[in-house]
Amino acid sequence: MRILKELKLPPTFKYQDIKEHPLTKKDIEAMYGLSQSFESLFSRRAKLYTEMGLKNEVLDEQDFKHYLMQHYTFLKRPVIINQNEIFIGSASKTIEAARRSVHGERLK
């Protein structure tokens, strides 16, 4: 939430609380369409990742998709979609790129 407040998103942006309104298969596939990778959407920091022993397994794209569909904590957050661009995660470079995109600024 802190990152979203920092971005000062315009009122036209739609916020989806994935705890209250879980992602659908269509949502996940739309994010995949922009990112071209389920792995890029997947959070290895999720508590379930460790609890399920997934760090000891070799996962492929279909595995990542499966786990993203299973539980919201597997989604790396925040995910910001602006038109045909997707910004995944909280890395400072990602957030800065999202800010520039949302506010129509060009990258230098």
Q: What is the pTM of this model?
A: 0.89
Looking at the domain assignment, is residue 62 inside a domain? yes
Residue 64 belongs to some domain of the structure: yes
Instruction: Answer whether residue 69 is part of any domain.
Output: yes
Q: Which two tokens stand for residue 13?
A: 């942006």
| Cis amide leading into 22 (omega within 30) | no
**pLDDT tens-place string over residues 13-53:** 999 999 999 999 999 999 999 999 999 999 999 999 999 99
Phi, psi of 7 (to 5 degrees): -70, -20
Q: Which pLDDT value is given to residue 2?
A: 87
Q: Domain for residue 39, yes or no?
A: yes
pLDDT tens, residue by residue, 59-94: 999 999 999 999 999 999 999 999 999 999 999 999
Asked if residue 9 is part of any domain, the answer here is no
The count of structural domains within the chain is 1
Q: Which amino acid is at 108?
A: K
Range of the domain at 48: 24-102
> Tokens 């999720």 appear where?
46
Nearest to 39 by CA among 59, 56, 53: 59
Dump pLDDT digits (tens) for 2-13: 888 888 888 889
Separation between Cα atoms, residue 48 and residue 60, nearest integer Å? 17
- Confirm whether 56 is domain-assigned: yes
Q: Answer whether residue 73 is part of any domain.
A: yes
**Average pLDDT, stretch 89-106?**
91
